[in-house]
Chain A
Amino acid sequence: MQTQLGGPLAPEPVPVHFAYVARYEYSDVVVQNDNFLRLSPYDDRYQTPAGGGSEVATVPAGRRITYPDRLGNVVNRIRITAPHRELIIAATGRVCLNDHAPVLDDAPLASIAYGLDAQEFLTASLLADPETVRAAAREAVGSATTLLETVSGVVRWVHDNIRYERGNTSVNTTAADVLQSRSGVCQDMTHLGLAMLRAYGVPARYVSGLLTRQPGETHAWLEFLHPERGWLPADPTRGIMELNGTDYLKFAVGRDYSEVPPVSGSFVSKGEGWLNFTTAEVFFDRETVSVDDALALLEGN
Chain B
Amino acid sequence: MLTDTSTAGHPLNECLNPDGSVKPVYRNLVNAIDSLGVPELQRRWGDANHRAALDAFTFMLDPREFRTVPTDWMPRLIPEGEWDVISRGVAQRLKAINRFLLDLYCGEQEVVPPDVMYSCQYFNPELLDYRPARDVFVHIYGIDLVHMGDGRYVILEDNLRIPSGITYQMKSAEIGLGAIPELAAGYDIIPYDIRAAYQEMFASLCEKDSPVCVLLTDSKYGSAFFEHRYLSELFGITLVEGSDLYIGANGRVWARAMGGDFEVDLIYRRVEDLELFVPGLTEAYLDHKVVLVNAMGTGACDDKLVFLWVPDMIEHYLGEPAILDQAVSYDLRSPANREYVLQNLDSLVLKTRQGYGGLGVFILPDLDKGYRSRLAQQLIEQPQVFIAQETLDFSQHLVFDESSGEFEGRYVDLRVFAVQNGHGEVTVFPGGLTRVSEANSRVTNNSSGGSCKPSWVVR
Contact = CB atoms under 8 A, between A and B. Distances in A.
Interface of A: 31-32, 36, 62-65, 67-70, 75, 77-79, 81, 83, 116-117, 119-120, 123-126, 129, 258-259, 268
A117 B333 CA distance: 10
A161 B77 CA distance: 70
A81 B279 CA distance: 9
Contacts of A70: 113, 115, 333
Interface stretch (B24-32, B62-70, B378-386, B425-433): B378-386
B382 A65 contact: no
B244 interface: no
B115 A124 contact: no
B343 to A, nearest CB: 13
B114 A68 contact: yes
Nearest to B336: A116
A259 B275 CA distance: 28
Contacts of B377: 124
Contact of B125 (A62, A69, A120): A62
Contacts of A123: 380
B283 interface: yes
A268 B273 contact: yes
Nearest to B116: A70
B1 interface: no
A32 B275 contact: yes
A150 to B, nearest CB: 22
Nearest to A119: B335
B454 to A, nearest CB: 39
30 contacts: A31-B276, A31-B279, A32-B273, A36-B119, A62-B126, A63-B125, A63-B127, A65-B123, A65-B125, A69-B115, A70-B113, A70-B333, A75-B119, A77-B119, A77-B125, A78-B125, A79-B124, A81-B126, A81-B283, A116-B336, A119-B335, A119-B339, A120-B383, A124-B377, A125-B382, A126-B381, A126-B382, A129-B381, A259-B384, A268-B275
A120 B338 contact: yes
Interface residues of B, number: 29
B309 interface: no
A116 B283 CA distance: 47
A109 to B, nearest CB: 21
Nearest to A82: B283
B128 interface: yes
B339 A64 contact: no
Given A67-B117, A75-B119, 17 more contacts: A31-B275, A31-B276, A32-B273, A32-B276, A62-B125, A63-B125, A65-B128, A67-B114, A77-B118, A77-B119, A79-B124, A81-B283, A116-B339, A117-B335, A119-B335, A126-B382, A258-B382
Contacts of B383: 120
B382 A116 contact: no
Contacts of B380: 123-124
Contacts of A67: 114-115, 117-118
Interface in B112-167: 113-115, 117-119, 123-128
B17 interface: no
B204 to A, nearest CB: 28
Contacts of B119: 36, 69, 75, 77
B282 interface: yes
A116 B118 contact: no
Interface string B329-369: 00001011011000000000000000000000000000000
Contacts of A126: 381-382
Contacts of A64: 125
B381 A81 contact: no
Nearest to A126: B381
Contact of B282 (A81, A116, A117): A81
A125 B115 contact: no
A79 B118 CA distance: 12
Nearest to A64: B125
A36 B338 CA distance: 25
Interface in B85-131: 113-115, 117-119, 123-128
A129 B380 CA distance: 10
A119 B380 CA distance: 10
Contacts of A83: 279
Nearest to B384: A259
The 7 closest A-B pairs by CB, nearest first: A67-B114, A63-B125, A63-B126, A65-B125, A116-B335, A67-B118, A126-B381
Contacts of B282: 81
A81 B336 CA distance: 40
A75 B125 CA distance: 13
Contact of A65 (B118, B275, B283, B339): B118
